[in-house]
Amino acid sequence: MTWKKFNGEVIHLPILEEVEKAIIRETEKGYHLKVCVGTDSQVKGAYTDFATVIVLLREQHGGFMYIHQEKTTQQMSIKERMLIEVQKSIETAYAVCDLLDLYDVDLEVHADINTNPMFKSNKALNEAMGYILSMGFIFKAKPEAFASSTCADKMVH
């Protein structure tokens, strides 16, 4: 699985090593960190692009992120696509959660799902929320889900 920095630079280390190095570096600088994981997708003709991000937030000092992108030709309903986004976020959160526990860094999983029933993505809200919470993660939906709706969103548009 290839991860990149926002500037497009490919990360050659395993993502866990990269995140650990970043946590150590930023903590030594005195920053209090929080990690947010989110995924967004965009349908482009026959393809659907997915972007998953790991956002490291420095409390009151901005942040930075790592991005993994993939494409699929699989046809899916909007609800299915939302739940695949959530699944990708959970897989990533699950991969980093032990490391974050070790360094006492909070973790949130962000879903690009609208809490307003007028939006199509709302159809997936209950399942997504149940899925994320049942895995023991903190859940954020729009408008608080900036990792998926802003950071990952930039990578699929």
Q: Which residue has the tokens 């973790």?
A: 107
- What structural domains does the chain harbor? 3-156 (3.30.420)
Tens digit of each residue's pLDDT (9 = 90 or more) over 35-47: 999 999 999 999 9
Q: Residue 66's beta-bridge partner residues?
A: 5, 54
Tens digit of each residue's pLDDT (9 = 90 or more) over 15-33: 999 999 999 999 999 999 9
Q: Is 70 exceeded by the pLDDT of residue 157? A: no
Tens digit of each residue's pLDDT (9 = 90 or more) over 92-135: 999 999 999 999 999 999 998 888 888 888 888 888 889 899 99
Question: Residue length, the chain?
Answer: 157
- Give the pLDDT of residue 136: 92
Residue 4 banded pLDDT, cuts 50, 70, 90: very high
List of long-range contacts for 97-100, beta carbons under 8 Å, 24+ apart: 97/137, 99/16, 99/19, 99/20, 99/23, 100/23, 100/35
pTM above 0.85, yes or no: yes
